[in-house]
Structure 1
């Protein structure tokens, strides 16, 4: 039986940057193993909502709960450590460390948690193999195609076996073919790991892979008819 108890719950979230209200009461729940697409026009608050749910930033008001633990009341350092241990984050441009090889980039989260170099490298190589980019293990980001770099970024997000992965426009910087390949890899890898996935996108082809779609407008969330 599928567990529908929310793993992540954001309730009545407000966030203002200067005079701009990015969130004006947005709410979202994500069940374990669920894929949720957050869609909407530019400036609607999609990325801000994702960053609040992931603990990258704290909302001005409202609550963010992860496994019955309030994220919004944690310090920035505590949120950072929790993200390293239990959350995967994939951004539009990958944000790999340019001086490091693919395997070094993927191993980095494990090394930050004091895992041995040999153990971290072995886990990184296994994740690169699973994402189909083991052949670029020794390449640096500037030597990879955009699609390869994004799959390396996905491998880095998954190497810690997170319970939930947040992806912010993961195909936005890629051409159609590379985008489809990266998306397929992301969905297959998260489903294979049993992780939940929250993907922010303006592309309805990306949203079509989700179990559920939520649309944002003017800092508010609205459910969209179930996709499956």
Structure 2
């Protein structure tokens, strides 16, 4: 059981160590998009496919943990990421979501986010829905440490990104969005935890309208927020 429980981390470790196949997107440095190399590419649609496949396989191959209690939580967080490609867009995000523990070392969830990118060319707002999976390296009552990845869809009220002096392509209203990163939670009091961490954010339309309409966006940044655990009373109702 221990081997199965650590499987996601073992796989990610060896993929990150295998530099001979670490082909990053053109123009990216490894530290800008550390899990963007072949074949992992968590900044693309693989950022949804890989965690979904790992979570689904784990649920099929491992037994349900009957000792898990208070499995459901809700959270709200604020984050900011900074683009590392021209025009170096800054994106401010507010996200509200739910997280459900499936195993002591894994959870699944979904969030709704409002995203506001701005730079010399862009100033718009987007609305996103993103399912995700978390894999816990540490899961203690007072402290948790996890890796998270997931992807969904985002709609901007204006085309994003806009053409620039270095790239004349016009983005689209509808895009895909993926996020991956590390996070931690520290128990504060009662059923409330403090959340914070770092993540990579990618936005593009996957060439659905051709490469000439897919300038894309990549950025890195930080987030912080609060989580509330929905503890159950004896009668089965949530507090």
Is the structural similarity TM-score above 0.5? no
Greater gyration radius: 2
Q: Which has the higher contact order (CA 8 A, sep 6+)?
A: 1
Greater strand share, 1 or 2? 2
Provide TM-score, normalisation by structure 1: 0.29
Q: Give the TM-score normalised by structure 2.
A: 0.28
